[in-house]
Amino acid sequence: MKKKPCFTLIELLVVVAIIAILAAMLLPALSRARETAKQGQCQNSIRQLATTMTLYSSQSDDWNVPLKLTGGSDPWTTNALFAKLSGVTHDAIYPNIWSKKFLCPSVAYITPHAGNWSTMANLGGVYGMTYWGATWIGSGADTGVWLENRAVKVNRVAHPSTQLLFTEVSFKSVGGMASPAYKDPGTYWWVNGEADDAYSLALRHNGSRAVNVAFLDGHAVSWNAARVIKEPSSTWYPYN
């Protein structure tokens, strides 16, 4: 009776080595694919915010949601109509607390932390509105003052496709509260991601080298750090 052929130890080691080499080649590609998927999901979410703002302005005589609610200091994220129009699951009492399924999947949530639950988190600790949610007073009694309770009227914006409205911001910023995303004029960008406890633009993607942004006309793109640094202040601020 013939013996069945079997693998020798050397042959088995060769097969294991080949599998290990293939795995080493494929794992980085799979990791990049996962990150690309997360970045794409995040970009869709920030685009949805811009679309929601368009819906809001269409019902509000062309006014956007201001950085802060009129007559108070509550941030834009607490606007109940905006939350309702988004169609995203949010807390019935606190409209700024949104489902994590909608928020950027690359966020490094801090636990325990203000505005961070198991399935919900503070919208304003993930996405920030730029100063296109406010009005700059360049003359008169209030010269040099930002009116954060009065947004720019959409039909007065000459080039909405070049004006940033939303960006990603650090979840740690100001205790997870909504903070305006901005460029420190003439100096540098806050780009330290989740590590910074200031008004921070969060570079969450592509190895902490990219951020998703959305514009007043509703489109969203990904910018790398070099593009962020070069972008003029006029993109971020409605000086008028």
Beta bridge partner(s), residue 201 = 169
165 Cβ contact partners less than 8 Å away, ≥ 6 residues apart: 50, 53, 64, 129, 130, 132, 133, 214, 215, 216
CB 160 within 8 A of CB 62: no
Contacts of 29-37 spanning 24+ positions with Cβ under 8 A? 35/106, 35/205, 35/206
- In angstroms, rounded to a whole number, what is the distance separating the alpha carbons of residues 8 and 240? 79
Name the residue with higher pLDDT: 12 or 95.
Answer: 95
pLDDT for the residue numbered 196 = 47
E-strand ranges in 84-125 read: 97-99, 120-122
CB 182 within 8 A of CB 124: no
Question: Which two three-digit tokens encode residue 130?
Answer: 């730029």
Tens of pLDDT, residues 185-217: 333 334 334 444 455 677 888 887 888 999 999
pLDDT for the residue numbered 134 = 75
Averaged pLDDT of the chain: 77
160 Cβ contact partners less than 8 Å away, ≥ 6 residues apart: 154, 215, 216, 217
**Mean pLDDT confidence for 106-135:** 77
- In angstroms, rounded to a whole number, what is the distance separating the alpha carbons of residues 22 and 40? 27
User: Global pTM?
Assistant: 0.78
Beta bridge partner(s), residue 210 = 205, 224
Beta bridge partner(s), residue 99 = 120
Name the residue with higher pLDDT: 52 or 27.
Answer: 52
- In angstroms, rounded to a whole number, what is the distance separating the alpha carbons of residues 150 and 152? 7
